[in-house]
Chain A
């Protein structure tokens, strides 16, 4: 099981100028913020289930950028149908990384469906996202970097993570309008 925080930081270290990063509600947002403040980040702190459709809309609007979404198993499970939408309205510049710790850690570590019988890689494949795979080894971050920048998307990668609480690292602002305008300024420039 992978330690998610340093794993995300390794993926985002030396990030390229054409990358924009979105994160789903909860720990994923603290994870990407821990890798350093960047105007090209937009982190959800609410609206559970909306990060995948948001990333799809962004990827469709900015085909020359590479769009990377980090999100959790809880956020993903809330909108499984969005995988079918991603598959059937495909964008080649979108990578979804699901940091799957098999639990709702922030609320008290209740198990999610992936702690039971559900498998997000298979759900993604069954939804039609053919470039989907699972990683369990810390060294596989380089494979993910290759997918993000060089493979034809959409891609969905399940990263099996330890279910442990990590320090909260807050974004530039909790005000959504400040966050989105700052993020959009990184696209206009």
Chain B
């Protein structure tokens, strides 16, 4: 699980390629941008920009019904948008993988990010999603690999939370 450019986003991309994940949907987040760029350069991966994260749940399930594996990338604020949609992979036992960049937990500048940041793991667990977490760059690849195998081998939903400590908390300056 070593990346070409030593960046942990590349390690996620390597997992996508290893496991033949060919559709990646997202509502963008700065933490995911290098990964989204890698996927967009790859002609074998369809990148779908969503208007709301919940649509990525249905999109992933439809893609799976048609024989393709996919992943949904989102920020923690998007997890709340997905709650009822997560019933779909659950009741149909469709493998569902999401990778969540965390906000509101480590050196956060924006107070508005805190409520959903605090709620994210609880909400996912409340919906029977297996939650994995990566706090350090060198464990991202193996964690995403484990979560993806959990999802696709056991026909369940899995989420990887990428910690804000690792991604880096953005500090805003006024003016």
A residues sitting closer than 8 Å to B (CB atoms) are: 22, 42, 44, 46-62, 79, 81-82, 84-85, 88-89, 175-177, 179-180, 183-184, 187-188
Tally of contacts, chain A with chain B, CB under 8 A:
124
Q: Which residues of A lie under 8 Å from residue B93 when comparing CB positions?
A: 176-177, 180
Is A57 touching B51 in the complex (CB atoms < 8 A)?
Answer: no
Q: How far is the CA of A180 from the CA of B58 in the complex (A)?
A: 13
Is B67 touching A53 in the complex (CB atoms < 8 A)?
Answer: no
Is A47 touching B84 in the complex (CB atoms < 8 A)?
Answer: yes
Q: Which residues of A lie under 8 Å from residue B49 when comparing CB positions?
A: 85, 88-89
Q: Which residues of A lie under 8 Å from residue B63 when comparing CB positions?
A: 57-58, 60-61
Q: How far is the CA of A5 from the CA of B58 in the complex (A)?
A: 26
B residues sitting closer than 8 Å to A (CB atoms) are: 23, 46, 48-52, 54-68, 70, 84-85, 87-88, 91-94, 155
Is A183 touching B58 in the complex (CB atoms < 8 A)?
Answer: no
Q: Which residues of A lie under 8 Å from residue B58 when comparing CB positions?
A: 47, 49-54, 56-57, 82
Choose among A46, A58, A89 the residue that contacts B65 (Cβ–Cβ < 8 A): A58
Is A46 touching B87 in the complex (CB atoms < 8 A)?
Answer: yes
| Least distance between B146 CB and chain A CB atoms (Å) | 23
* B91 (CB) vs chain A CBs: closest residue: A176
Is A61 touching B62 in the complex (CB atoms < 8 A)?
Answer: yes
Choose among B50, B70, B87, B88 the residue that contacts A85 (Cβ–Cβ < 8 A): B50
Q: Which residues of A lie under 8 Å from residue B84 when comparing CB positions?
A: 47-49
Q: Which residues of A lie under 8 Å from residue B91 when comparing CB positions?
A: 46-47, 175-177
| Least distance between A156 CB and chain B CB atoms (Å) | 16
Is A57 touching B92 in the complex (CB atoms < 8 A)?
Answer: no
